Each structure stands twice: as structure tokens, then as C-alpha cells.
Amino acid sequence: MRNPRTRHNGLMAGINITPFTDVVLVLLVIFMIATPLIIQSGMRVNLPATSTAEAQPEKSIRITIDSAGAVYLGKDRVMYDELRQRLARILAQQPGSPVVVMGDRGLRYDLVIRVLDIARAAGARRMSLGVEVRNDLTP
């Protein structure tokens, strides 16, 4: 029989995974917080401000033009040449959907007009311009 007072000098067979689990959980939390910021950072647009805008329906088709003039259809970057075909395909699947053009406030005006012309040529009939709504502005 074994004496409880004697010390066993053999090797420990188990592995302590508590520190590993702590590190994995911390990394998981960091990635959960950082992922939305990474996804949103692709399209930085400073919209013009207004206090009298109306809310757009959630099912609108969004075209974004950033300060460098890059065009995004939804979240996908597209070239001006392919915007008409891709928008026409979306409008064929969702007829009557409003198109919202969201242009950066520092953007040249002719780029916004060019996108509006492309959208009309693709079949868009309900179009509007995206703005930032601020209550501290006087109309």
C-alpha cells in the first residue's frame, strides 16, 4: 500500500491548457471588435450635411463615391465602365428599387452627375442623393 506522506517524484502526465485558453479567448474578443472596423474602413465618405432630409428605405441600392473618385456598388468596388451593366442586373432582379448615390462632400460635382447618368441609363427611375442628417443646422 502506498503511504500518503511519501512524495511521488514522477513526471506529471497532464498539460495545463488554462493559459492557452485565456490567450485564445482574448484573441477572439480582439477579432470580434476589430472586424467591423476593418470592413467599414473600405469606404470612408464624408457626406454633405442637411437638417431636412427624409429617411430612405432599407432596400435601396447604394452607390458610393469616395473622395478619390472610386465607385462602390453596395460594398463592391466597380469601375465606371462596368457600373451600368452591374446596376442593370440588380435593377432587373429588384425592379422599382430606389438608387441612392452617396458622394463625398469634397468630390467634384461632375463625378456625381456622371454616376447619376449611368444609373438612369441602367434603368433607375427613383434616385436620390445620400446626405448626413444633422439637427444642429438651420435650413
Cell numbers standing for residue 21: 485558453
Residues in contact with 135: Cβ distance below 8 Å, sequence separation at least 6, in sequence order: 51
Confidence label for 127 from pLDDT (cuts 50, 70 and 90): confident
Domain 49-133 CATH assignment equals 3.40.50.720: no
DSSP-based helix, strand, coil % in the chain, nearest 5: 35, 15, 45
- pLDDT over 60 (residue 17): yes
Quick one: which H or E segment has residue 91?
A: helix 80-93
- pTM comes to 0.59
Confidence label for 41 from pLDDT (cuts 50, 70 and 90): very low
Could you give the 3-state DSSP secondary structure of residue 16? coil
- pLDDT over 70 (residue 129): yes
Cell numbers standing for residue 32: 470580434
Bridge partners of 128, per DSSP, are: 100
In the chain, where do the E strands start and end? 49-50, 61-65, 71-73, 76-78, 99-103, 127-129, 132-133
